[in-house]
Amino acid sequence: MITSTRHPVVAAFRRLAEAPRHDTGGRILLDGYHLITEALAGGIDFDQVLVDLDPVDARRVSLAERLRAAGARVHAASPRVVQAAAQVDTSQGIVAIARRPAPGATAVLETVGLFLLVADQVQDPGNLGTMVRTALAAGATAMAITPGGVDPYNAKVLRATAGAIFRLPLVSMDAASLSGALAQRGVRMLVADARGSVDYREARVDRPVAIVVGNEARGPEPVWSAVGSTVRIPLLGPVESLNVAVAAALLMYEVARRGATPS
């Protein structure tokens, strides 16, 4: 039982929480029962776990046993110690260090009936996390993230995904390479643009299709409009644009509603 917040294991959690992305050793921090359960179900490898093994919470005790069986080093700890290692204000009694998933293979772009969401340099963790979660809910087959945006395994992004990030194939490619690869494969690209040439309700959305949304301030890179169709979501009130996560949700559910999958 670890009872000191100065224990080396606790120090390892704190160092990882404070480390810049390039210095994490390919590891990520996961807080809470649901996020850890989703990561385990998604085949993520775990390194170390700190858990309050209060027998009153049988669910948490069972999860700790499953993590140990999967090869993680599970350390029983006092509630104060678990809280000290957590990244949230109120810990759920379990925190873990896991291996950062490797980027998805570009082979997912070959999927029959591809339904891809592209987040081009999206900066806000809440926006990106919400898009990951919505993509999974709307039936997207994969998601692509271009460099220059927020880290998809940032703690705030992870919490916003509610674990969906571990169940959706994730590809990382720069905009030029990705748009070229999609064009080569005959994938229809619908690029969200407030000044787009086509109302999104009238655009062709049959699959394979990619929905492209861009940076909150600048929108998608110009390379996308050169190879795809710009689509607009009508703004009926006096606003300049929609939140990028809201726009992505509307477009994805339009694909889900109308988009036919080729046989």
Phi, psi of 113, rounded to the nearest 5 degrees: 70, 35
pTM of structure: 0.90
pLDDT tens profile 179-221: 999 999 999 999 999 889 899 999 999 999 999 999 999 999 9
In three-state secondary structure terms, 170 is strand
Residue 152: count other Cβ atoms within 10 Å of its Cβ: 23
Domains (range + CATH), the chain: 8-99 (3.30.1330.30), 106-258 (3.40.1280.10)
Q: What is the pLDDT of residue 72?
A: 97
Asked whether the bond before 147 is cis by omega within 30 degrees of 0, the reply is no
What is the DSSP secondary-structure string of 77-136? B-HHHHHHH-SSSS--SEEEEEEPPPPPPGGGGG-TT-EEEEEES---HHHHHHHHHHHH
Q: What is the b/e burial string over 14-36, where b = at least 16 CB atoms within 10 angstroms of the residue's CB?
A: eebbeeeeeebeebbbbbbeebb
Dump pLDDT digits (tens) for 58-83: 899 999 999 999 999 999 999 999 99
Mean pLDDT, consecutive 10-residue segments, the chain of 263 residues? 94 89 85 95 95 87 95 96 91 94 85 96 97 97 96 94 95 96 96 93 95 95 95 91 95 89 51
What's the pLDDT score for residue 240? 84
Q: Look up residue 139 and give its two tokens.
A: 């039936």
